[in-house]
């Protein structure tokens, strides 16, 4: 047995040595652009913010071949979901191995800009025709930092409220003339809320997202509809503790608390729940705020329900607002040696036909207003609603440190919703914690 | 007094008044109940793997109403799972070999061949396990990139990409896991010292003592290190995410992350992929747990 | 080759454990350089060199970073700020809360996991027919992909999920498991216990296998019943492995993060925000590697301290 054991060790050692040699030699199989055999057009590395199969198919089978044919360059695409990509980008920038083109959600752009990591896209955007720029007017601002375009969005996104028209009718409300203000919505929700014998809510009249970061998004929509804004124009100071902010948060907290509450399950993340567990599908809510992808899935799962979309809401005396605007998009590495190629690659995605195909494939809101004419939108009332709401979208500020500031606000919003702090204190404390981070942007 | 190794091994005495048969039935029942309880979440993973995507989590019944194999198909095709499985297997097997070799050697030495400073060295080495990976990720990434003579690097590690996007890069942090050294040291510290002394008196060298006397006693230890090393590598996500870029070097967890897109989780393929990914680890476990059969424990005292 | 057994006379089995030690640990004199210890150094060298280069140096780098302000995205590299990062932790309410949460998490999960795993290991130590099946079944939670199984647990804990359905079936009301600050950490702990059982069981199984059967024989012959046999043979024999299991669990549990991330994202009201959750957020969402490192080293000091104390108390005088 001892002989066998020591032979095991020798075998293990030999294996290890062999494996090490094999591994270092055998990395990814050489691509056509490796080892100095440069294609005429150069090499472009792209980290694409998404890994949905339709996306991948579109990029790999349509866009990349067309691009490579036209420019003679080769493209290496890595697909990483934009939720995971921060870690990868951090490591790459620290080591100097960041790609030429990479993608992320708009909230991250400002931090890259603050560290001089992005090439401005203003000149490139200026080469687009005015009608093009107008067509994308709802999305472009979301990719701007300090008024300069750094991120080219690939789609629009937004949060709207989906309601069950049958529930409306059963409660004596007119589903064809739904509320247009938040207070009217709450009143309707009270009629829609169903309670059991012990007084617990079994069907919420209205559900707004209240999970981590979801709460901040709901608050942003309410704040916008009350005419307020999260930060001042420079992004150096929090202004969410204005009167508008207090009205918005007070409204939000009242949904969950008190004898006239209309919402249950505070903190539950229904936004990311499987379709079969969505409150509208289960019948545990009559109105929920959702993005377009979720709405499409819910509609497909409940074809027998009459589910419709509310346009953005407001508080009287102010403009309607919904949280929305640019979705994840692509940016160009400031150190890239292929900046012209990089823009060329990006511009493929904003071509009307490609853009329509892309957004339809991932179920997102189209980038261009002109997409209203495509079959994707024309046959789909949900898409129409999101596209129509585009002018009323307000987006989160694009300033450095926003992710941290947003988390601070989010934390205090939660306390106000749970009523462990008052609305006023929550907003003031959040502002005083956030201001030191924001003043650095001055 | 000799040990009768033919007696069925039982770690329980016979004095408590229950017949051994009854106790065995009692234990078996307890085991069955516990196993079922423990398996419930996994049974759901299995159930969801065979459930069509749109019905995911739709009912509380374990048997799907319309079972389908399409999730497995999606998992294999969309996630390029076969390549990922091979990559993970290569990395995991190498890790098992290196850990079994070097960690056991070091653990044995720390237990039985102490030298001045060995205690301090031991605690220094294992304390590196107490630092979260978030802090060491980027330094390690920088080192992987700067490995001299790799990936087009010169002697100073400049110019190329080092071990980035290679399986060697993926394997890099796992070659010797400090806690395995700790484990080996604990294990060898219980082995009797007389065996070594006797062997030394017979003129055996230290390597011989290790390989012929103590290593044969360490089958359970090797089994545990093999299982844990394999599992640790197989389940890791963060390091492969950072060090690989191309689909050819992806590991299993990265491939499965394909179905976890923000706001658009594909439950069916995730679960199907999880089952596919579990099979190799389970096989490694089954193979190694045979060493946990009593009958080896009589090797500590010969004659 | 004759080897003398360390078995003591039969009557010793009824006396307290220490005299039934089957192996004297190596003498605790100060070690000296001699042929044996030199070879020992050589044996240790490959592992030590590897760990020093690829684990220790990154740790030291991280320690240096903890005295700087550093974003990986920054072009200018780390900026020294002295002990500011550490000083700020004192006034950081979130950090203090995370310390408490982490401590509670470890204390809730550790004892239960070890005890249950020990029971399981005892049950599957005997090689009866089908034992492989049970061992595999009990080990599966440890090897199933965490993300996949967390999705199932998330559903199990949800308002209309499995657990509430079962409660309703027996007439009990729904619980908001993950939504209530009082129950969220317990719910996360339950899942962690479930996941950790298998690995602890495997370790204790290995430990059990190395207890020589002669000792049980001796105990049985001396009239020891099951409980005494367990107390005076099994537990002392398992001590080294128990020490390892507890230390390893402390180290891993203190760094608990992934399961929290999927189940609760640190909420509600910060009741499940562990230190490692904060560290990850600081490092990769806020790009503050300096702060993250400082937090990590405070956690490190606590882990080392706690492990040391626990190991000391487990092993008594000997180490």
Is it the case that residue B172 has pLDDT exceeding 60? yes
Q: Is residue B271 within 8 angstroms of chain A, CB to CB?
A: no
In this structure, are A72 and A141 located in the same domain?
Answer: yes
**Selected residues 215-254 of chain B with any CB under 8 Å from a CB in chain A:** 215-216, 218, 238, 241-242, 245-246, 248-249
Q: Please give the residue of chain A at the shortest CA–CA distance from B262.
A: A83
Strand locations in A185-230 (E)? 194-195, 201-203
The whole-angstrom distance between C91's CA and the closest CA on chain B is: 22
pLDDT (average), residues A216-233:
96
In this structure, are A247 and A188 located in the same domain?
Answer: yes
Is it the case that residue C39 has pLDDT exceeding 60? yes
Handedness of CA C172, C175, C177, C178 (dihedral sign): positive
Q: What is the pLDDT of residue A65?
A: 93
Which among B295, B268, B249, B263 has a CA at the least distance from the CA of B86? B249
Is it the case that residue C214 has pLDDT exceeding 50? yes
Q: What is the pLDDT of residue A408?
A: 96
Q: What is the pLDDT of residue B180?
A: 96
CATH code assigned to B69-300: 1.10.3720.10
In this structure, are A407 and A302 located in the same domain?
Answer: yes
Residue B192's pLDDT band (cuts 50, 70, 90): confident
Residue B296's pLDDT band (cuts 50, 70, 90): very low
In this structure, are A291 and A379 located in the same domain?
Answer: no
Is it the case that residue A272 has pLDDT exceeding 50? yes
C-alpha span between B126 and B269 (Å, rounded)? 38
The whole-angstrom distance between B136's CA and the closest CA on chain C is: 5
Helix, strand or coil, per DSSP, at residue A39 = coil
Partner-chain contact C266 A282, CB within 8 Å: no
Percent share of chain B, pLDDT over 90: 57
Q: What is the pLDDT of residue B5?
A: 39
Residue C9 CA: distances (Å) to CA of B302, C3, C222: 18, 17, 10
Partner-chain contact B54 A28, CB within 8 Å: no
Per CATH, which fold does C93-315 belong to?
MetI-like fold (1.10.3720)
A90 chain-C contacts, CB cut-off 8 A:
72-73, 283-284, 287
The whole-angstrom distance between B117's CA and the closest CA on chain A is: 27
Q: Is residue C205 within 8 angstroms of chain B, CB to CB?
A: yes
The whole-angstrom distance between C87's CA and the closest CA on chain A is: 16
Tokens 């990265």 locate to B254
Q: Read off the tokens for B259.
A: 């179905």
Q: What is the pLDDT of residue A8?
A: 52
Q: Is residue C180 within 8 angstroms of chain B, CB to CB?
A: no
In this structure, are A375 and A422 located in the same domain?
Answer: no
Is it the case that residue B23 has pLDDT exceeding 80? no
In a domain, A38, yes or no: no
pLDDT (average), residues C25-31:
63
Q: Read off the tokens for A149.
A: 């375009």
> What's the distance, CA A206 to chain centroid?
22
Q: Please give the residue of chain A at the shortest CA–CA distance from C287.
A: A90
Residue A244's pLDDT band (cuts 50, 70, 90): very high
Which among B110, B99, B81 has a CA at the least distance from the CA of B222? B99
Is it the case that residue A202 has pLDDT exceeding 70? yes
Is it the case that residue C115 has pLDDT exceeding 50? yes
Is it the case that residue A203 has pLDDT exceeding 60? yes
Looking at per-residue pLDDT, the higher value among C224 and C108 belongs to C108
Is it the case that residue B303 has pLDDT exceeding 60? no
B12 chain-C contacts, CB cut-off 8 A:
226, 229-230
Partner-chain contact C162 B45, CB within 8 Å: no
Partner-chain contact B281 C220, CB within 8 Å: no
Q: Are B267 and C155 in contact (CB under 8 A)?
A: no
pLDDT (average), residues A115-135:
93
Mean pLDDT of chain B: 86
Residue C59's pLDDT band (cuts 50, 70, 90): very high
Pairing of strands A307-310, A156-164: antiparallel
Q: What is the DSSP string of C247-315?
A: HHHHHHHHT--HHHHHHTTT-STTTT--HHHHHHHHHHTS--HHHHHHHHHHHHHHHHHHHHHHHHHHH
The whole-angstrom distance between B291's CA and the closest CA on chain A is: 14
**Selected residues 249-268 of chain C with any CB under 8 Å from a CB in chain B:** 251, 254-255, 257
Q: Are C194 and C117 in contact (CB under 8 A)?
A: no
Residue C25's pLDDT band (cuts 50, 70, 90): low
Provide the 10 A C-beta neighbour count for residue A122: 12
pLDDT (average), residues A309-324:
96
The whole-angstrom distance between A270's CA and the closest CA on chain C is: 10
Residue C14's pLDDT band (cuts 50, 70, 90): very low
Is it the case that residue C116 has pLDDT exceeding 50? yes
Counting one residue from chain B and one from chain C, the pairs whose CB atoms sit within 8 A come to: 376
Q: What letter would DSSP give residue C6?
A: -
Q: What is the pLDDT of residue B199?
A: 86
Indicate which CATH number applies to the domain containing A198: 3.40.190.10
Closest partner CB to A274 (pick from B168, B238, B267): B267
Q: Is residue C303 within 8 angstroms of chain B, CB to CB?
A: yes
pLDDT (average), residues B171-179:
95
Q: Which helix (H) or strand (E) element contains residue A304?
A: none
What's the total number of domains in chain A? 2
What are the boundaries of each domain within chain B? 20-49, 69-300
Highest mean pLDDT pick, A76-80, C217-221, C222-226 = A76-80
pLDDT digits 0-9 by tens, A153-171: 999 999 999 999 999 999 9
- Which of A360, A379, A394 lies at the terminal end of a domain, its last residue? A394
Is it the case that residue B229 has pLDDT exceeding 60? yes
Q: Read off the tokens for C26.
A: 């190596």
Closest partner CB to B137 (pick from A56, A91, A363): A91
Closest partner CB to C285 (pick from A94, A211, A403): A403
Partner-chain contact A415 C269, CB within 8 Å: yes
Is it the case that residue A31 has pLDDT exceeding 90? no
Q: What is the pLDDT of residue A24?
A: 45
Partner-chain contact B300 C126, CB within 8 Å: no
Show the domain range for A306: 159-324+401-439
pLDDT digits 0-9 by tens, C125-171: 888 888 889 999 999 999 998 888 999 999 999 888 889 988 989 98
Is it the case that residue A224 has pLDDT exceeding 70? yes
The whole-angstrom distance between C129's CA and the closest CA on chain B is: 11
Residue B294's pLDDT band (cuts 50, 70, 90): low
Partner-chain contact A415 C176, CB within 8 Å: no
Q: Are A427 and A412 in contact (CB under 8 A)?
A: yes
Is it the case that residue C96 has pLDDT exceeding 60? yes
| Helices (H), ranges, chain C | 35-51, 57-65, 84-91, 93-123, 131-143, 146-157, 162-169, 184-209, 213-221, 226-229, 235-254, 258-263, 275-284, 289-315
Percent share of chain C, pLDDT over 70: 90
Q: What is the pLDDT of residue B297?
A: 36
Residue C28's pLDDT band (cuts 50, 70, 90): low
Q: Please give the residue of chain A at the shortest CA–CA distance from B296.
A: A1
Q: What is the pLDDT of residue B48?
A: 94
pLDDT (average), residues C205-230:
84
Q: What is the pLDDT of residue A19?
A: 54
Closest partner CB to A24 (pick from B100, B166, B258): B166
Residue A118's pLDDT band (cuts 50, 70, 90): very high
Q: Is residue C308 within 8 angstroms of chain B, CB to CB?
A: no
Closest partner CB to B281 (pick from C143, C153, C284): C143
Q: Read off the tokens for A237.
A: 């100071």
In a domain, A2, yes or no: no
Q: Read off the tokens for A439.
A: 């003043």
Q: What is the pLDDT of residue B150?
A: 86
Is it the case that residue C188 has pLDDT exceeding 60? yes
Is it the case that residue C7 has pLDDT exceeding 70? no
Partner-chain contact B187 C210, CB within 8 Å: yes
Partner-chain contact A271 B145, CB within 8 Å: no
Is it the case that residue B2 has pLDDT exceeding 70? no
Closest partner CB to A277 (pick from C74, C155, C283): C155
What are the boundaries of each domain within chain C? 93-315
Percent share of chain A, pLDDT over 70: 90
Is it the case that residue A21 has pLDDT exceeding 70? no
Q: What is the pLDDT of residue C195?
A: 93
C215 chain-B contacts, CB cut-off 8 A:
none
Partner-chain contact B261 A15, CB within 8 Å: no
Q: Please give the residue of chain A at the shortest CA–CA distance from C91.
A: A433
A76 chain-B contacts, CB cut-off 8 A:
245-246
Q: What letter would DSSP give residue A118?
A: B
pLDDT digits 0-9 by tens, B70-126: 999 999 988 889 999 999 999 999 999 999 999 999 999 999 999 999 999 999 999
- CB neighbour list of residue A428: distance below 8 Å, 6 or more residues apart: A241
Partner-chain contact C268 A267, CB within 8 Å: yes
Partner-chain contact A276 B238, CB within 8 Å: no
Partner-chain contact B97 A301, CB within 8 Å: no
pLDDT digits 0-9 by tens, C63-94: 999 999 999 999 998 999 999 999 999 999 99
Partner-chain contact A267 C179, CB within 8 Å: yes
Q: Is residue A191 within 8 angstroms of chain C, CB to CB?
A: no
Q: What is the pLDDT of residue A9?
A: 52
Partner-chain contact B139 C57, CB within 8 Å: yes
Q: What is the pLDDT of residue B21?
A: 67
Is it the case that residue A30 has pLDDT exceeding 60? no
Looking at per-residue pLDDT, the higher value among C278 and B261 belongs to C278
Q: What is the DSSP string of chain B?
A: ----TTSPP-SS-S-SSS-HHHHHHHHHHHHHHHHHHHHHHHHHHHHHHTS-GGGTT--S-SS-SS--SHHHHHHHHHTTHHHHHHHHHHHHHHHHHHIIIIIHHHHHHHHHS--TTHHHHHHHHHHGGGS-HHHHHHHHHHHHHT-TTSTT--TTS-SS-TTTTSHHHHHGGGSS-HHHHHHHHHHHHTS-SHHHHHHHHTT--HHHIIIIIIGGGGHHHHHHHHHHHHHHHHT--HHHHHH--SGGG--HHHHHHTTEETTEE-HHHHHHHHHHHHHHHHHHHHHHHGGGSTTSGGGGS--
Is it the case that residue C185 has pLDDT exceeding 90? yes
Pairing of strands A101-104, A74-80: unpaired
C-alpha span between A299 and A280 (Å, rounded)? 10
C74 chain-A contacts, CB cut-off 8 A:
115
Closest partner CB to C284 (pick from A87, A267, A268): A87
Q: What is the pLDDT of residue A17?
A: 53
C-alpha span between C279 and A236 (Å, rounded)? 26
Counting one residue from chain A and one from chain B, the pairs whose CB atoms sit within 8 A come to: 134
Residue B18's pLDDT band (cuts 50, 70, 90): low
Q: What is the pLDDT of residue C248?
A: 94
C-alpha span between A418 and A420 (Å, rounded)? 6
Partner-chain contact C141 B42, CB within 8 Å: yes
pLDDT digits 0-9 by tens, B241-274: 999 998 899 999 999 888 888 778 899 999 999 9
Task: Report the half-sphere exposure of B183 (CA within 13 A, side-chain side).
Answer: 32
Q: What is the pLDDT of residue B157?
A: 83
Q: What is the pLDDT of residue A40?
A: 59
Looking at per-residue pLDDT, the higher value among A130 and C228 belongs to A130
């Amino acid at each position: 047995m001892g002989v066998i054991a020591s032979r095991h060790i020798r075998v293990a050692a030999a294996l290890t040595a062999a494996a090490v040699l094999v591994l270092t030699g055998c990395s990814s199989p050489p691509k056509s652009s490796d080892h100095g055999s440069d294609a005429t057009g150069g090499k472009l590395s792209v980290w694409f913010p998404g890994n949905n199969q339709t996306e991948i198919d579109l990029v790999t089978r349509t866009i990349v071949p067309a691009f490579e044919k036209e420019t003679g360059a080769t493209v290496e695409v890595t697909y990483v979901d934009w939720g995971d990509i921060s870690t990868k980008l951090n490591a790459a920038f620290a080591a100097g191995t960041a790609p030429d083109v990479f993608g992320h959600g708009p909230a991250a752009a400002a931090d890259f800009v603050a560290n001089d990591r992005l090439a401005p896209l203003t000149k490139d955007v200026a080469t687009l025709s005015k009608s093009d720029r107008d067509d994308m007017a709802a999305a472009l601002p979301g990719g701007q930092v300090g008024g300069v375009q750094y991120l080219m969005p690939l789609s629009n996104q937004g949060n709207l409220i989906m309601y069950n028209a049958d529930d409306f009718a059963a409660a004596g409300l007119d589903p064809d003339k739904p509320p247009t203000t938040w207070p009217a919505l709450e009143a309707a929700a009270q009629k829609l809320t169903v309670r059991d014998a012990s007084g617990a809510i079994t069907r919420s009249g209205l559900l707004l997202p209240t999970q981590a970061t979801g709460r901040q998004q709901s608050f942003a929509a309410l704040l916008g509809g009350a005419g307020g804004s999260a930060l001042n124009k420079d992004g150096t100071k929090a202004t969410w503790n204005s009167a508008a902010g207090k009205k918005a948060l007070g409204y939000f907290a009242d949904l969950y608390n008190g004898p006239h509450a209309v919402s249950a399950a505070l903190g539950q993340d229904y936004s990311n729940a499987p379709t079969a567990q969505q409150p509208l599908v289960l019948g545990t809510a009559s109105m929920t705020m959702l993005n377009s992808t979720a709405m499409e899935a819910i509609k497909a799962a409940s074809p027998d329900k009459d589910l419709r979309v509310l346009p953005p809401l407001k508080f009287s005396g102010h403009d309607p607002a919904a949280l929305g605007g640019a979705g994840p998009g692509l940016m160009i590495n400031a150190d890239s040696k292929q900046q012209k190629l990089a823009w060329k690659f990006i511009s493929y995605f904003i071509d009307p036909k490609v853009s329509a195909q892309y957004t339809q494939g991932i179920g997102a809101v189209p980038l261009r207003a002109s997409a209203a004419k495509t079959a994707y939108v024309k046959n789909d009332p949900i898409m129409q609603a999101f596209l129509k709401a585009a002018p009323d979208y307000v987006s989160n500020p694009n300033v450095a440190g926003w992710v941290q500031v947003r988390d601070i606000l989010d934390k205090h919003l939660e306390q106000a919703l749970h009523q462990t702090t008052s609305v006023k204190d929550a907003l003031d404390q959040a502002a005083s914690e956030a201001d030191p981070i924001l003043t650095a942007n001055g | 007094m000799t040990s009768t190794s033919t007696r069925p091994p039982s770690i329980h005495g016979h004095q408590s008044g229950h017949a051994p048969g009854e106790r065995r039935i009692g234990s078996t029942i307890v085991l069955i109940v516990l196993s079922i309880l423990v398996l419930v979440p996994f049974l759901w993973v299995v159930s969801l793997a065979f459930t069509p995507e749109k019905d995911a989590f739709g009912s509380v019944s374990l048997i799907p109403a319309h079972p389908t194999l399409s999730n497995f198909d999606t998992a294999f095709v969309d996630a390029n799972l076969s390549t990922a499985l091979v990559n993970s297997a290569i990395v995991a097997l190498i890790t098992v070999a290196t850990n079994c070799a070097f960690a056991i050697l070091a653990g044995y030495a720390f237990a039985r061949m102490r030298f001045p400073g060995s205690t301090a060295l031991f605690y220094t080495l294992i304390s590196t396990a107490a630092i979260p990976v978030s802090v060491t990720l980027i330094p390690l990434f920088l080192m992987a990139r700067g490995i001299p003579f790799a990936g087009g690097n010169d002697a100073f590690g400049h110019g190329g990409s080092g071990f980035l996007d290679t399986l060697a890069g993926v394997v890099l942090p796992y070659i010797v896991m400090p806690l395995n050294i700790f484990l080996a040291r604990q294990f060898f510290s219980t082995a009797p010292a007389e065996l070594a002394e006797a062997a030394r008196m017979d003129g055996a060298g230290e390597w011989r003592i290790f390989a012929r006397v103590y290593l044969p006693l360490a089958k359970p230890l090797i089994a545990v290190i093999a299982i844990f090393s394999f599992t640790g590598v197989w389940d890791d996500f963060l390091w492969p995410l950072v060090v690989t870029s191309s689909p050819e070097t992806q590991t299993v967890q990265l491939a499965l992350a394909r179905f976890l897109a923000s706001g658009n989780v594909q439950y069916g393929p995730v679960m199907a992929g999880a089952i596919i990914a579990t099979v190799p680890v389970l096989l490694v476990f089954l193979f190694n747990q045979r060493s946990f059969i009593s009958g080896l424990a009589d090797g500590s005292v010969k004659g | 080759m004759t080897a003398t057994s360390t078995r003591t006379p039969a009557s010793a089995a009824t006396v307290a454990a220490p005299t039934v030690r089957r192996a004297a640990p190596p003498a605790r004199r100060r070690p000296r350089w001699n042929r044996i210890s030199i070879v020992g150094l050589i044996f240790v060298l490959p592992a030590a060199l590897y760990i020093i280069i690829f684990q220790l140096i990154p740790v030291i780098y991280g320690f240096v970073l903890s005295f700087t302000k550093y974003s990986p995205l920054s072009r200018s590299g780390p900026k020294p700020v002295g002990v500011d990062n550490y000083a700020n932790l004192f006034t950081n309410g979130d950090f203090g809360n995370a310390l408490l949460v982490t401590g509670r998490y470890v204390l809730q999960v550790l004892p239960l996991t070890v005890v249950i795993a020990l029971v399981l290991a005892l049950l599957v130590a005997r090689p009866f027919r089908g034992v492989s099946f049970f061992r595999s079944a009990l080990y599966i939670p440890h090897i199933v992909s965490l993300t996949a199984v967390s999705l199932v647990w998330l559903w199990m804990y949800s308002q209309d999920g499995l657990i509430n359905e079962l409660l309703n079936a027996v007439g009990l009301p729904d619980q908001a498991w993950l939504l209530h600050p009082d129950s969220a950490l317990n719910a996360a702990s339950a899942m962690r216990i479930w996941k950790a059982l298998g690995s602890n069981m495997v370790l204790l199984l290995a430990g059990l296998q190395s207890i020589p059967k002669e000792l049980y024989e001796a105990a049985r012959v001396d009239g020891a019943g099951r409980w005494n046999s367990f107390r005076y043979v099994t537990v002392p024999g398992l001590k080294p492995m128990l020490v390892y299991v507890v230390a390893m669990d402390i180290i891993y549990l203190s760094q608990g993060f992934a399961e929290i991330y999927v189940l609760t994202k640190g909420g509600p009201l910060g009741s499940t925000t562990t230190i490692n959750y904060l560290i990850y957020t600081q490092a990769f969402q806020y790009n503050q590697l300096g702060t993250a490192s400082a937090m990590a080293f405070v956690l490190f000091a606590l882990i080392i301290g706690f492990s040391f104390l626990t190991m000391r108390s487990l092993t008594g005088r000997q180490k």
